[in-house]
C-alpha cells in the first residue's frame, strides 16, 4: 500500500508532510542516517553502532531500550535508544531533512530547533533502519529521572527544590510549545536531573505530535497524568493537557503522592492542607483566576480562565470550572513572573477519579 500524506499546519505556522504509514523502506545496502558532526563518512555505513561502544542498560520501554555508550571517536558519553518499528509508526517530513523521519526523531529535532534550550535533551546522531531506528542522545552524567530522584529524597522534596525543578520543567515545555511540538507524555519519568548541578532535561518524545489548535482524540501517555477531559469526552487540547500534567508533577513532588478527588473537594472548601508544607502553599489564592491567567501568559501555556470570566465557552477543557492552588515561599513567586497551578479543574478531577 502506498503512503497517505497530508499537510499538517501546526500552531507555529510552518507546514510539514505527515506520513500516516511507513514510507518506502531504505535500500538493502545502506540505511537512512544522519552523519554527525560534519557529514564525515561513517566508519561503517551499514550500522550506526559501529561508531559507539555500548555500555550498561539505562532503561527499557514498550518498544525500545536505552543503553549508555561511548563515542569511539572521542569517548563522549551518550545514551543510545533503539526502537522497534510497529506497523502504525508515523513519519514526518520537516525542513532541512528531505527524507521522512520517524516521528520521535523529527519531534526531537524540532524541539531543539533554534537557540539552545538546556532543558530539552539533544539528539546527536540517528539512523533509520529497516526494522528499527536508533537515536544517539546526550547523556548528562551522573543523572537520574525524577522518580529515582524523589525516592532518593524520601519521596518528598522541599518547596525550594521543587521550585528550582519546576522552573526548568515549565521552561522546557514552554519551548516545545513555541517550536510547535506537543510532547504528549509529560511525567516524572520523562525528566532527568543532574546529580551534580540539579539541571533538569525533558526526554522521550515517543508519544508526541505536532502542536495544533484542534482537539486530539488519541493519547499515548501515562494514565495518572491524563487530563480529565480526555476521560470524560475522549478529546483534549495540547496546552491545557500539558498544564495538567505539570500540575500533577508539582503536587507529587511536594506531597509524595498523586492528587485525588478528595484533595480537590477540600480545595474547593478552603480546607486543603498537607503536613510539612507551608501555610502559603496550602492556602488558596483569593485572586486565583487573575494570577493563574498571568502564569499561563508567562509560561506560554494557555489559560482557560479568561473565556470563563467573560462567559464564553471554552472547548479546551470541556467547560469545567476552575480552582487554583499555588506554591509560594516568602515573597518569591513559584515561576519567575507568576504562579503555576496544581489542580486545573474543580469538577473535572472528581469526575476523572470516579471514572478511573
**DSSP conformational letter for 122:** P
The Cα 122–Cα 152 span in angstroms is 26
Distance from chain centroid for Cα 2: 32
The Cα 312–Cα 319 span in angstroms is 9
Of residues 185, 204, 209, 316, which has the active-site annotation? 185
- 263 assigned to active site: no
Left, alpha or beta for 90 (phi > 0: left; psi -120 to 50: alpha)?
beta
User: Between the CA of residue 124 and those of 33, 55, 77, 114, 243, what are the distances in Å?
Assistant: 12, 17, 11, 15, 29
Residue whose C-alpha cell reads 508519544 in the numeric block: 207
- Residue 198 contacts residue 4 (beta carbons within 8 Å): no
Left, alpha or beta for 117 (phi > 0: left; psi -120 to 50: alpha)?
beta
The Cα 80–Cα 88 span in angstroms is 23
Which helix (H) or strand (E) covers residue 60, if one does? strand 52-60
* Residue 306 assigned ligand-binding role: no
Residues of the chain by 3-state class (helix, strand, coil), percent to 5: 30, 25, 45
Cβ contacts of 321 within 8 Å, gap of 6 or more: 308, 345, 346, 347
Catalytic residue numbers, as ranges: 185
Binding site residue list for ATP: 81
Binding site residue list: 81
Amino acid at each position: 500500500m502506498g503512503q497517505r500524506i497530508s499537510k499538517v499546519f501546526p500552531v507555529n505556522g510552518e507546514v510539514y508532510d505527515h506520513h500516516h504509514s511507513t514510507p518506502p523502506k531504505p535500500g538493502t545496502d545502506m540505511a537512512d542516517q544522519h552523519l554527525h558532526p560534519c557529514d564525515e563518512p561513517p566508519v561503517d555505513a551499514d550500522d550506526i553502532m559501529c561508531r559507539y561502544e555500548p555500555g550498561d542498560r539505562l532503561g527499557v520501554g514498550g518498544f525500545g531500550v536505552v543503553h549508555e555508550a561511548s563515542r569511539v571517536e572521542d569517548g563522549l558519553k551518550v545514551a543510545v535508544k533503539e526502537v522497534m518499528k510497529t506497523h502504525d509508526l508515523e513519519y514526518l517530513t520537516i525542513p532541512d531533512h528531505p527524507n521522512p523521519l520517524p516521528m520521535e526523531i523529527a519531534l526531537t529535532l524540532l524541539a531543539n530547533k533554534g537557540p539552545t534550550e538546556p532543558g530539552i535533551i539533544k539528539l546527536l546522531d540517528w539512523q533509520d533502519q529497516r526494522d528499527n531506528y536508533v537515536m544517539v542522545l546526550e547523556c548528562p552524567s551522573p543523572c537520574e529521572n525524577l522518580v529515582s530522584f524523589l525516592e532518593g529524597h524520601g519521596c518528598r522534596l522541599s518547596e525550594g527544590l521543587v521550585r528550582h525543578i519546576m522552573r526548568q520543567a515549565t521552561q522546557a515545555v514552554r519551548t516545545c510549545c513555541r517550536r510547535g511540538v506537543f510532547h504528549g507524555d509529560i511525567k516524572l519519568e520523562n525528566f532527568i536531573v543532574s546529580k551534580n548541578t540539579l539541571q533538569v532535561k525533558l526526554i522521550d518524545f515517543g508519544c508526541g505530535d505536532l502542536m495544533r489548535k484542534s482537539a486530539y482524540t488519541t493519547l499515548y501517555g501515562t494514565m495518572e497524568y491524563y487530563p480529565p477531559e480526555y476521560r470524560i469526552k475522549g478529546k483534549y487540547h495540547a496546552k491545557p493537557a500539558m498544564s495538567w500534567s505539570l500540575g500533577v508533577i508539582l503536587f507529587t513532588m511536594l506531597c509524595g503522592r498523586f492528587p485525588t478527588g478528595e484533595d480537590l473537594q477540600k480545595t474547593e472548601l478552603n480546607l486543603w492542607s498537607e503536613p510539612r508544607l507551608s501555610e502559603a502553599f496550602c492556602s488558596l489564592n483569593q485572586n486565583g483566576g487573575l494570577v493563574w491567567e498571568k502564569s499561563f501568559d508567562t509560561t506560554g501555556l494557555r489559560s482557560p480562565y479568561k473565556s470563563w470570566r467573560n462567559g464564553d465557552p471554552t472547548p479546551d477543557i470541556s467547560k469545567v470550572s476552575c480552582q487554583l492552588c499555588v506554591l509560594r515561599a516568602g515573597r518569591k513567586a513559584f515561576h519567575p513572573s507568576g504562579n503555576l497551578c496544581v489542580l486545573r479543574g474543580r469538577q473535572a478531577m472528581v469526575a476523572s477519579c470516579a471514572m478511573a
